[in-house]
Structure 1
Amino acid sequence: MDGIEIRASQDPQPMCDFARQAGWNQTIDECRLLVEAPGAITLYAMKDAEIVGSAAAQLYGGNRMGFVNMVFVLPEMRGHGIATALLKAVMGARPDVATWRLYATEAGSKVYEKLGYRQAFAMAKYFAAPELVRSWPREGAEVMTAADIPAAVACDTAAFGFNRPWVIDFLYRAQPSLAFKRSHAGRLTGFSLGRVGANARHVAINAASLADACALLRRSAAEEQAGRPVQVMAYEIQKDFTAFLLDNGFKATVPMYVMDFGAECPQPAVNYYGTLGGEFA
């Protein structure tokens, strides 16, 4: 860590540049949202005038949960404790936060465990080629409109555990043509939001039943978007849904773990089929 200085910033561009190097899915607009969100923490590790690492966090429920993301160090600078220092600095910026949460690969989880994090639950990213889903039936889900945003926020709050209206509003307005809903008796009971990221089209799904979740996924996945693969991030506990994904040609990639530090935190509700995590991975 000799010669490394950690500085706070609200500049999203270095974060987005690191996302490209890491092969992550964030866009510059999403990085901008992350650094400008209420209570957001964004830190960069500096060596002289060069930015060599980053870490960020979004706060939910005031001080109830901090969602850590965008932890990255340039390959040539790894092995010097920079990532650990960045993570500790993020957590130290808000010592009043009850629970810190992050996503980790299996290898990364071993590092975080040494810092006191524990595995809360498992998940995986699932991908399908665009030509596989292009012909999927499009009936069964309606187009979501801006008037549905308050109801979608309420559904998201119940599933995610915390209120984050700015996230739902941003993602709807970024890609309204990829937003769909399910309704019963005139009431919104589920929705899906699509993100056209740098590498894939990420579909997040909140639904009252497995049938609704599958209908929302079919409708959203069938929309063509620049030939990008379709990505769904699903929790291991959603066994019927992950079986549907695999039966319909999705492939699971590297398993990931949701890890917590501190107090027990809300687990995802059963209607949270395709996650939209705090870092929009």
Structure 2
Amino acid sequence: MPPIRPLTEADLAAALALSAAAGWNQTLDDWRLFLRDGRAFGIEADGVLAASAAVLPFGPEVAWVSMVLTLPDHRGRGYATALTAHALRALAASGHRAVLDATPLGQPVYGKLGFTPFWTFRRWRLETRSGSVPGVRPLRPSDWPEVLSLDAAANGIPRERLLRALAARLPQAARVAVAGAHIEGFALARDGRLAPQIGPVVARDGRAAQRLIAAALAALPTGESVVIDLADAQTELAAWLAGRGATPQRPFTRMALGTAPLPGDPALIVAPIGPEFG
């Protein structure tokens, strides 16, 4: 087994090639976030970065595990297993509980490692449409305290650095739903290698969530293909997306090490950021 080493800025191009080989949507900016706020590990083989894993802490208690990747012609050598074990040891040493979003193939693997499934979501692909949406306006700098409070209520972890970084990627699509003087929900979006992605979307009810998604779609160029990871519990929104021509793609399961409940209130989570960030 080749040695596991930390990834650095010098590895960004190779890391992007690794996620692109898997058909994933990450950009260099996504990989930079792992190096800025977390840690990424890799295995080199045959002169290339052959496999990776990353961890992203959110506060002192929870950390995301993601970007577990192996180049197609290097699979079957145990690299992903070794990197996952390495990541989990690093989190155990720092006292963080590991959380991740698993594909159907990954779910039984993580289950054997002690991960428990909690809730599910699915990626949808659809096209943007122009139009105005009442009750929704652009995110303002003064909105951040209320937005962060709502996100903390939904996810139970501090994500300010990540959310602010994402909001800067496609600021024209950052929206808040308002009722009187209060924010009922928010939506962010970011660019992707293959398509822009809307998320997170956090809202107190389905009506606000629908308006937020519609407003984010309208803020992007008309006719552009975008993706959103919608919680499976949002059945009315799924029907609404399907009515707009959206097509469901691959499913994911949110899992955490151990059986203790996840922090936060998942009923407020309409769409996660994506499986790499939670």
Are 1:171 and 2:169 matched, yes or no?
no
Aligned equivalents of 1:230, 1:92: Cα separation in 2: 36
Within 5 Å, which residues of 2 pair with 1:222-241? 222-225=218-221, 228-241=224-237
Distance 2:5 2:224 in 1: 35
Matched, 1:95 2:92: yes
Give the count of matched residue pairs: 273
Three-state SS of the structure 1 residue aligned to 2:267 is: coil
Aligned-partner residue type, residue 100 of structure 1: A
Partner Cα separation in structure 2 for residue 226 and residue 23 of structure 1: 24
Q: State the 1:13 CA deviation.
A: 3.1
In the aligned structure 2, how far is the partner of 1:211 from the partner of 1:254? Answer: 25
Partner of 1:193: 188
Do the aligned partners of residues 126 and 136 (structure 1) sit closer, same or farther apart at CA in structure 2, a change above 3 Å counting?
Answer: farther
Following superposition, the deviation at residue 216 of structure 1 comes to: 0.8
Instruction: Give secondary structure in 2 for the equivalent of 1:31.
Output: helix
Asked if the contact 2:195–2:227 (Cα under 8 Å) also holds between the matched residues in 1, the reply is yes
Pick aligned residue for 1:246 from 239, 242, 264 = 242
Q: Tell me whether 1:29 sits opposite 2:29 in the alignment.
A: yes
Secondary structure (helix, strand or coil) at the match of 1:193 reads strand
Segments of structure 2 that go 5 or more residues without pairing to the other structure are none
Q: Is the 8 A contact 1:196 1:225 kept in 2?
A: no
Q: Is the 8 A contact 1:25 1:280 kept in 2?
A: no
Q: Which amino acid aligns with 1:32?
A: R
Q: In the alignment, does 2:177 pair up with 1:182?
A: yes
2:251 matches 1:255: yes
8 Å Cα contact 2:25/2:192 also seen in 1: yes
Partner of 1:67: 64
* 2:215 equivalent to 1:214: no
Q: Secondary structure at the match of 1:106?
A: coil
Match for 2:56 among 32, 53, 58? 58
SS of corresponding position for 1:149: helix
Most deviating of 232-241 and 133-142:
133-142
Tell me, in whole angstroms, the C-alpha distance in 1 between the residues paired with 2:182 and 2:264: 25
Percent of residue pairs identical: 27
- Secondary structure of the 2:77 match is coil
The within-5 A match list for 1:114-193 is 114-128=112-126, 130=127, 133-193=128-188
3-state DSSP class of the match of 2:88? helix
* Offset of residue 227 of structure 1: 5.2
Post-superposition shift, 1:78? 0.6
The 1:276–1:268 alpha-carbon spacing in structure 2 relative to 1, beyond 3 Å, is farther
The match for 1:47 is: 45
> Are residues 91 and 269 of structure 1, via their aligned partners in 2, closer, same or farther at CA, if it must alter by over 3 Å?
same
Residue 272 of structure 1 corresponds to which residue in structure 2? 269
Q: Secondary structure at the match of 2:204?
A: coil
TM-score (norm 2): 0.90
Task: Show CA shifts across 1:34-66 (max 9, x none).
Answer: 2211xx12101122643111000111231x222
**Cα shift at 1:137:** 4.3
Relative to structure 1, is the Cα distance of residues 33 and 98 closer, same or farther in structure 2, using a 3 angstrom cutoff?
closer
Q: Distance in 1 between matches of 2:72 and 2:212?
A: 39
- CA offset at residue 111 of structure 1? 2.0
> Is the contact between residue 64 and residue 277 of structure 2 (CA under 8 Å) also seen in structure 1?
no
The alpha-carbon deviation at position 98 of structure 1 amounts to: 4.7
The Cα shift of 1:229 comes to 1.3
Q: Distance in 2 between matches of 1:119 and 1:149?
A: 31
The one-letter code sitting in structure 1 at the alignment partner of 2:134 is E
- Tell whether 2:72 aligns with 1:78: no
2-structure distance, mates of 1:278, 1:127: 15
Deviates more, 1:10-19 or 1:199-208: 10-19
The CA deviation at 1:170 is: 0.7
- For residues 46 and 103 of structure 2, the distance between their equivalents in structure 1, rounded to whole angstroms, comes to 31
Contact 2:6–2:40 (8 Å) recurs in 1:
yes
CA RMSD of aligned residues (A): 2.0
* Residue type of the alignment partner of 1:198: R
> Structure 1: which 5+ runs fail to align?
none
